[in-house]
A and B are shown apart, each in its own frame.
Chain A
Amino acid sequence: MSYGIKLHLSGDFACFTRPEMKVERVSYDIITPSAARGIIEAIYWKPQIRWIIDRIHVLKPIRFTNIRRNEVGAKASAPTAAAMNGDIVVLPGIIADDPKTRQQRASTLLRDIAYVIEAHFDILDYRFERGGPELPANDCAGKHLDVFKRRARGGQCFHQPCLGNREFPARFSLIEDGDPLPACELPPEQLNKELGWMLHDLSYLPADKKAKDSFLTGRGKRVRTEPRFFHAQLENGIVTVPPLQSATA
Chain B
Amino acid sequence: MIEFSGDFESEHAPEELWKYFTDPDILAQCAPGCDHIEQESESELSATIAVGVGSVKPTFDVDMTVVEADEPNHLVMEAGGDASRNSFEAVAEMTLTETEDGGTHAEWEADANVSGLIASLGQRALGSVADRLVNNFFDDLEELADEGVPAESKISAKPEATASLED
A and B held together in a complex: no
| Chain B interfacial positions (CB closer than 8 Å to A) | none
| Chain A interfacial positions (CB closer than 8 Å to B) | none
